[in-house]
Amino acid sequence: MIRIAFICDGLELGGQELGCLAVVRGLDRTRFQPHLYTFRPGSLLNEAATLGVPIMVGYDKPASDDTWTDRDDAARAEYGRRLAARLRADAIDACLLYAWPDGVAAAQRANVRAIVERVDGVSLATRLSDKSACLRIICESKMIRDVILAQRQLLRCRREQLVVIENGIDLARFDPSRYDRERCRAALGLLPDDFAIGTVARLAPEKNLEHFLRAVALLAGKYGRWQPRRIRAVITGPDAGSRAHLEAEAGRLGIADRICFLGSRSDVPEILRALDVFAITSLYEGTPFALLEAMAMGLPIVATQAGAIAEVINGNGYLVCVLHPEETARAMYDLLASRELCNRLGKRSRKLAARYDVNRMVRRYESVLLDTLKSTASEPATLSPQEPA
């Protein structure tokens, strides 16, 4: 049995954390025994507890609390020592690190055979600033791989360490044929002929939801009067500090009656089934799970040119400038004006989503972990500063 440590900062709702739990959930338990180590708890801790794996939580401060004190620094240092002891006691064979640099030192002190980093998005590409101890670096997109390669000498890594494994989702759960569209729309108070635009995101500044609101306001004001269909917008996701500001902004823009803030929901497939268009307006991204889920549900996409989104969109939607909500409004209007276009792009989305299967993703993780462990007898674990990249 191969013991795999999954090490992360916290278990708050986010793409990186969801991806981590998806791999833990899907690993072949006849070959792998996963262990989960997190410094801080979060809203996903209860879900993690259902996976039937040992969990170590290092601190009592939730990951949603963005304040930091000397007490937190001391707790982090102490956790590093306890983590090393626990990895040794658990006889871990390989560590998979999710943006937790302290895990490298802990794994080395515990004599773990293989260290693998998983890099989610641009903002996390350099979180581990010295990658020389990592035998493999799993990138969620080609874009992330290229960002790391461009800095490989500074980050002390080699081209051959990097491998791309795209995110995967549960295509059986996110299947539009499983959900009655009219019932889903009625549950959100949508009329049969309403034009519903939605997004799924944490209500945080980096998600750029002011852009989304301004685009909806432009659509309703500039284009809406020429259309008999009522324009509605749905924002689904937990408050990460921006909800009050966004509600005030909707009021200032005169669209408060058109916007529905649903908060964090477990019935995301049903919400997506009720929509006509899915929008994502982030300032930066990796490969968003929400985007893949919307595609699997057969929705046309309007998305900013952020992160690896352009690698995903391929004839199934619009890519718009992150600084110009008027572009987003025009794209929304094209879809409002043509049901045929909506249907065509939605079918294309569903077809493209087939490549993002969670089972395929997990099998690739398993393959990388096995290959990495096989290489430990011959591949050097460190990269000297003088070694050419």
CA distances to 5, 129, 177, 200, 302 from 171, rounded to whole Å, are 27, 35, 11, 17, 21
Inform me whether the pLDDT recorded for 122 exceeds 90: no
* C-alpha count within 13 angstroms, C-beta hemisphere, residue 379: 18
| Average per-residue pLDDT for the chain | 93
Q: List the Cα angle 312/163/121 in 5-degree steps.
A: 50
Inform me whether the pLDDT recorded for 384 exceeds 60: no
Inform me whether the pLDDT recorded for 380 exceeds 60: no
Can you spell out the DSSP letters for 18-62? HHHHHHHHHS-TTTEEEEEEEEE--TTHHHHHTT---EEE--SS-
| Domains of the chain from N-terminus onward | 2-168+357-375 (3.40.50.2000), 176-353 (3.40.50.2000)
pLDDT band at 150 (very low <50, low <70, confident <90, very high): very high
- Of 2-16, 303-317, 369-383, the least confident: 369-383
Q: What is the pLDDT of residue 198?
A: 98
Q: What is the pLDDT of residue 227?
A: 66
| Measured distance CA(268)–CA(281) in Å, rounded | 18
Q: Is 118 left (phi over 0), alpha (psi -120 to 50) or beta?
A: beta
Radius of gyration of the chain (CA): 22
Per-residue pLDDT of 204-232, as tens digits, reads 999 999 999 999 999 999 766 666 689 99
Per-residue pLDDT of 324-333, as tens digits, reads 999 999 999 9
